[in-house]
Amino acid sequence: MAASVRLLFRRISRLSHRNINSTADSFSRRPGCCFGPFSSRCISDAAEDRNTHFGFETVPEAEKAKRVYKVFENVAEKYDIMNDAMSLGIHRLWKDMLLHVMHPQPGARLLDVAGGTGDISFRFLDYVYHQQERQKRRALGSSQTLSWQDISEKYPAEDAPHESSSVVCDINKEMLKVGKQRADSMGITSGLSWVVGDAEELPFDDDQFDIYTIAFGIRNVTHIDQALQEAFRVLKPGGRFMCLEFSKVTNPVLARLYDAYSFQVIPVLGEVIAGDWKSYQYLVESIRNFPDQEEFKGMIEDAGFCSVQYFNFTGGVVALHSGFKL
Amino acid sequence: MAALLRGLRAGRLLRGLSGVVTAPTSTVPQCRSLRRGFHRAALRLQDESKSDKSSSSSSSSTSTHREQYQAHSAEQDTEAASQQDSDPNSSEQDQDEEYETEEQLQARILTAALEFVQLHGWSMEAIAAGAESLGLSSASTGMFYNGAGDLVLHFISQCNAKLTEILAEQHNQVQLGQAERKKTADFLRDAVETRLRMYIPYIETWPQAMSILLLPHNIPDSLKHLSTMVDDIWYYAGDRSTDVSGSSHPRSPFSAAHTFLSPFHHHPHHIRPATSQMNWYTKRAVLTGLYNTTELVMLQDSSPDFQDTWTFLDNRIQDVVNMATTAKQMQSTGEAVAQGLMGAAVTLKNLTGLNQRR
């Protein structure tokens, strides 16, 4: 009873926020038929065009992709700074954990979908490079007793076919541009390619990649099951699907703090740092609309993946789902 | 109450309906092998539930329909339950050998990885090479959350299985009369030697494997494997000593076959009278000690065909035998001495007249 009253208050406060801050209506506001942070997608039965959620609004599915595109076009420049500000830098730890769980072997090919500014790909290349260094050092270390001739012979025997590479795929050109700039400034010349593509319809052949990751991107996809099926298609047999995404916080105390932080602090940060309240309002609302850990695990299994598991980080704020194409 | 049950059944019916409707429309390639496996499990469940239902409920024409839908929802439940159980080492319901379970696939990858151990050591790289040799991407090594530990434990359980096979085969031959029964000491010696010889191809990297087994999260599993192996060896050695704790042997396949060794209880040449006095724990502790020390000796043995190791093993077994006979002798000597003392005491009592009995 108290919970529903609290929900009612939150709805009212949010509505009032929106009314106060509504500027020129590039976003046409239509009060949706379902409110509330835990509603799933609202399908209007009679209408021909299906509706889906865009934050807490209901929009036709065709429009969602466009609006998401505009959101990320607006935030592309300040994306990384905002990530650091919003998550207090913890997002770096989450992405490091993703790499740690992934534990890629040298020679693996990564497809980084919704990779945008390339965070995951840079970490991936780093990880593999260090692993190869360690292996080389180990190989050389065991050959200390060899003569200099043998050592010099071993040196050029580097396995060139085991070069790992990463493909960053994103639907948004602005994000890819920012990512390319970052790569150039970091001095990464090889092993990275940038492709514009839609997660629901990837421009790649079947059985191409060892690992498919999508970090904080899948909740922006209109048809999640199609994205999962595409992931299944482009992965090699034995390949791994990994999805890092905001999820349901399990601890009730933490949940309340998290909600307060999400709805009070993050849009304000967005306005102050990036000059864009609405995009970050969309961000926190889209998190609430995303299915929880178990439901998403079921969706991944439906797409055909085996051995699906999820790991909760920061008490459930972020969940890492992993499945294998076997 | 009845209304509640009816409501429950209606709910399950609806769920089953939705399951029936969605299943044929999915065109996506599933984990086919696993799905079919679960389907078989579900069919078995369906049979069970049918037999339950027919015995309990008042049968009507509609009840069979409800059973079918319940079975479908049971299929969904088993699927959900089994797939939620993401631990790949949990019991697999699939008994059909045609379709591979996750467990079997992992076993296949690890077996393939064993060939690369000499090159890469007991590590994730070996597992990755094994997966690639099977045509799978190296990313599938992510299934093994214990990494190298998984590989070593798999190898050990494989060796134990092989040993059990060999011992069973030998036992069959003895039963058929084609071979002679060995003394317990010889039997133990041969079993330990057979088992340790399986390490010979990997002997250079075996110290690394042993150190992996000593990691804290691997210790329970490695101890479990060791104790099952020791149990198996003693079982085939004809161990019938008293089990003090009263618990059964942790080996279900043989639980029904306890009586087949009884004709061989009274064979002539043995140390059995002494050992049958020793209890269950002593025997296993002795064999564990034998096995571990011999394994350590084998690690730094450089003699041809590990002759030094087998000599060491012989000597240790001889020690155990000697200790057993000495113990027996001490016991009988002690009994004789005690009897002698009692006799002397009675004689004294008679002499001094304290003994009132005439």
Question: Between A75 and B230, where is the model more confident?
Answer: B230
Whole-angstrom Cα distance, residue A266 to residue B149?
44
Closest Cβ–Cβ partner in B30, B84, B136 for A238: B136
Q: If interface means Cβ-Cβ distance under 8 Å, which residues of chain A face chain B? A: 101-105, 107-108, 135, 210-211, 229, 232, 235-240, 294, 297-298, 301-309, 322, 324, 326
**For range B325-337, the mean pLDDT:** 91
CA count, 13 A, side-chain hemisphere, A264 = 7
* Cα–Cα distance measured from residue B211 to residue A83, given in angstroms and rounded to the nearest whole number: 42
Q: How far is CA A242 from the centre of its chain?
A: 10
Has residue B244 got a pLDDT over 90? no
What per-residue string of b and e applies to B10-31 under the rule 16 or more CB within 10 Å gives b? eebbebbeebeeeeeeeeeeeb
Q: Locate the chain A residue with the closest alpha carbon to B100.
A: A326
Interface test with B, best of A105, A229, A325 (most B CBs within 10 A): A105
Residue B275 has pLDDT above 70, yes or no: no
Instruction: Tell me which of B13 and B149 has the higher pLDDT.
Output: B149
Interface contact B140-A239, CB threshold 8 A: yes
- Is the pLDDT at B263 greater than 70, yes or no? no
Whether residue B70 has pLDDT greater than 50: no
B102, B105, B139: residue with CB nearest A239: B139
Q: How many CB atoms lie within 10 A of CB B116?
A: 19
List, in order, residues 6 or more apart from A283 with CB less than 8 Å away.
Answer: A71, A266, A270
Neighbours of B198 (CB within 10 A): 16
Q: Do B137 and A305 touch (CB under 8 A)?
A: no
Name which residue leads in pLDDT, B7 or A82: A82
pLDDT at A45: 45
Distance from CA of B79 to the nearest CA of A (A): 10
B142: nearest CA partner in chain A = A102
pLDDT, residue B101, reads 84
Please give the angle made by the CA atoms of A138, A144 and A148, to the nearest 5 degrees: 120
Contacts of B283 (CB under 8 A, 6+ apart): B234, B239, B241, B275
Name, in order, each residue with C-beta under 8 angstroms of B154's C-beta and a sequence gap of 6 or more: B107, B110, B111
Task: Identify the pLDDT of residue B182.
Answer: 85
> Who has greater pLDDT, B5 or B204?
B204
Q: Quick check: B125 and A108 CB within 8 A?
A: no
Q: Which residues pair with A54 in a beta bridge?
A: A57
The 3-state DSSP class for residue A253 equals helix
| Degrees to nearest 5, angle at CA B83 with B81 and B88 | 115
Nearest-5° Cα angle at A123, B151 to A83: 130
Has residue B77 got a pLDDT over 90?
Answer: no
Q: How many CB atoms lie within 10 A of CB A154?
A: 14
DSSP A41-78: ----SS-SS-EEEETTEEEEHHHHHHHHHHHHHHHTTT
Question: What band does B180 get if pLDDT is binned at 50, 70 and 90?
Answer: confident
Write out the two tokens for A147.
């003569």
Report residue B281 CA to chain centroid gap. Answer: 18
Q: What are phi and psi of A37, to 5 degrees?
A: -70, -15
**So what's the pLDDT on residue A134?**
85
Cβ neighbours of residue A15 under 8 Å, at least 6 residues apart?
A: none
CA of residue A191 relative to chain centroid, distance: 21
A306 chain-B contacts, CB cut-off 8 A: 31, 34, 102
Which pLDDT value is given to residue A21? 45
Q: A131 is written with which tokens?
A: 């692993």
Please give the radius of gyration of chain B, using alpha carbons only, rounded to the nearest integer.
30
Beta-ladder partners of A111: A167, A212
Mean pLDDT of chain B: 74
Inspect the interface and report whether the beta carbons of A105 and B136 lie closer than 8 Å.
Answer: no
* pLDDT for res A9: 52
- Which tens digits make up the pLDDT trace of B282-296? 888 999 999 999 999
Chain A residues inside the 8 Å CB shell of B138 = 104-105, 107-108, 210, 238
If you count them, how many residues does chain B have?
358
pLDDT at A12: 52
Q: Scanning the structure block, which residue is given the tokens 């639907």?
A: A171
What is the model's pLDDT at position A7? 53
- DSSP H helical ranges for chain B: 2-25, 32-56, 61-84, 102-114, 117-120, 124-133, 148-175, 184-197, 206-213, 219-236, 272-277, 280-299, 307-352
Full DSSP string of B136-167: --GGGGGG-TTTHHHHHHHHHHHHHHHHHHHH
Q: Do A101 and B102 touch (CB under 8 A)?
A: no
Where are any strands of DSSP class E within A103-159? 109-113
DSSP A264: I
In this prediction, residue A75 carries a pLDDT of 81
The larger pLDDT score, comparing residue B301 to residue A163, is at B301
Chain B residue with the nearest C-alpha to that of A306: B31
Cβ atoms of B126 and B147 closer than 8 Å: no
CB contact under 8 A, B139 and A232: no
At A159, which helix (H) or strand (E)? none
pLDDT digits (tens, 9 = 90+) for B41-65: 445 555 555 544 444 444 444 444 4
CA dihedral B281, B287, B293, B296 (to 10 degrees): -110
* Contact (Cβ atoms closer than 8 angstroms) between residue A180 and residue A124: no
Residue of B nearest to A164 (CA): B138
The string of pLDDT tens digits covering residues B19-40 is: 444 444 444 445 555 554 454 5
pLDDT given for residue A82 in this prediction: 86
Contact residues on chain B for A107, CB-CB shorter than 8 A: 138
Which chain B residues contact residue A104 at CB under 8 A?
Answer: 138-139
Q: How far apart are CA A78 and CA A279, in angstroms?
A: 12
CB B244 within 8 A of CB B280: yes
What residues of chain A score a pLDDT lower than 70? 1-49, 142-147, 150-162
Distance from the B33 Cα atom to the nearest Cα atom in chain A, whole angstroms: 10
Name the strand (E) or helix (H) holding B254. Answer: none
Q: Is the pLDDT of residue B299 over 80?
A: yes
Locate the chain A residue with the closest alpha carbon to B127: A105
Q: Mean pLDDT over residues B232-241, rounded?
A: 81
**CA A254 to chain centroid:** 22
Asked whether residue B91 carries a pLDDT value surpassing 80, the answer given is: no
The answer on pLDDT for B90 being more than 50 is no
Name the β-bridge partners of A201.
A198
Going from the C-alpha of B305 to that of each of B191, B298, B302, B313, B317, the distances in angstroms are: 17, 10, 8, 14, 20
Q: Which of A108, A305, A307 sits opposite B138 (nearest CB)?
A: A108
Q: Which residue of B has its CA nearest to A300?
A: B30
- All residues of chain A having their beta carbon less than 8 Å from the beta carbon of residue B144 are none
